[in-house]
Amino acid sequence: MTSTAETIEAPATPATPATEATEARAAQDAWVAPAFPPLPPPPDEIGVVGALSRASRAAFRYANRCAIVPFHRAGLAAWLGNPLTGWQLLLTTTGRKSGLRRPTPLGYLVEDGAAWVLAGYGPSTLWYRNLVADPGVEVLLPARPPFAAHAADILDPAVRTRIIPLLVRSMAVPGTAIGDLPWRAPDERILELTAWVPLIRLSPTDGSTLVAGPDDPGGLGWTWRTLAATLVTAAAWRTLRSRRRR
């Protein structure tokens, strides 16, 4: 007499949100980011070039601390943006040594669901060194509430090739600091002049997607503000002249 062994399979465990999240984290941990070559070193700042670079850093620090940062904190940054002077966000990093909050106004671009900025003085840029030590930052865009963001140094040549020319041109006149006229220079020339400049992506930590608004680069919010400022200035000038005639 022969007996047949029967195999009884246990019922499959139903997937739960907790197990799905665990599997997603495991898959993310198993993914290895592609390695990209480092950026070339910045040019030597010697002689007149070095003196001008140091002077511009000091001038920007003074102007930012005394004028631009208070404008941002007062919610007036949208009145500063236009196609001539460019647009600025306020990036707040944590001092790598002091632990204090360090606000810095920067030209920016909204693209691919994130904000993008350039560390114009290369790896020695103070705010860049801060976010390398602590990538958790705060971003304040014109006419929007501040939000927490994660800062990532982007080395992917394909992304840099696509984003940097758009970003430099959005800075308008300040973009000439690269050493050429952005609105006339081809993409290849802009990329050549910024090959050593770190490109930073600022992504909201809550996973939301940034969308360019009327007060961001390329928007038209500046048109009605310029018109309003012109009308107010003209009215004030007329009032002043009428009082002088009396």
1-36 tens-digit pLDDT:
444 444 455 455 555 655 665 565 555 444 445 678
Per-residue pLDDT, 1: 47
Can you give the three-state secondary structure of the chain, one letter per residue? CCCCCCCCCCCCCCCCHHHHHHHHHHHHHHCCCCCCCCCCCCCCCCHHHHHHHHHHHHHHHHHHHHHHHHHHHCCCHHHCCECCCECEEEEEEECCCCCCEEEEEEECEEECCEEEEECCCHHHCHHHHHHHHCCEEEEECCCCCCEEEEEEEECCHHHHHHHHHHHHHHCCHHHHHHCCCCCCCCHHHHHHHCCCCCEEEEEECCCCCCCCCCCCCCCCHHHHHHHHHHHHHHHHHHHHHHHHHC
- Does residue 36 fall inside a structural domain? no
Structure tokens at 215: 């007060």
Q: How confident is the model at residue 240 (pLDDT cuts 50, 70, 90)?
A: confident
Answer for the pair 94, 136: CB distance below 8 angstroms, yes or no. yes
Domain count along the chain: 1
CA–CA dist 40, 23 (Å, integer): 38
Look at residue 238 and tell me whether its pLDDT is greater than 90. Answer: no
Residue 220 is assigned to a structural domain of this protein: yes
165-57-59 Cα angle (round to 5): 110
Mean pLDDT of the chain: 85
pLDDT (mean) for 168-173? 94
- 202 forms beta bridges with 115, 151
Is the per-residue pLDDT at 49 higher than 80?
no
Does any domain span residue 14? no
Question: Containing domain of residue 107, as a range?
Answer: 45-234
Q: Is residue 54 part of a domain?
A: yes
- The model's pLDDT over 54-98, given as tens digits with 9 standing for 90+, comes to 676 677 777 777 888 998 999 999 998 999 999 999 999 999 999
- The verdict on residue 40 lying in a domain is no
The pLDDT assigned to 118 comes to 97
Instruction: Give domain status of residue 15, yes or no.
Output: no
Specify the pTM: 0.79
Asked whether residue 125 is assigned to any structural domain, the reply reads yes
Q: What are the tens digits of pLDDT across the range 109-142?
A: 999 999 999 999 999 999 999 999 999 999 999 9
218 within a domain of the structure (yes/no): yes
pLDDT per position as a tens digit, 216-236: 999 999 999 999 989 999 998
> The CATH number of the domain where 79 resides is what?
2.30.110.10
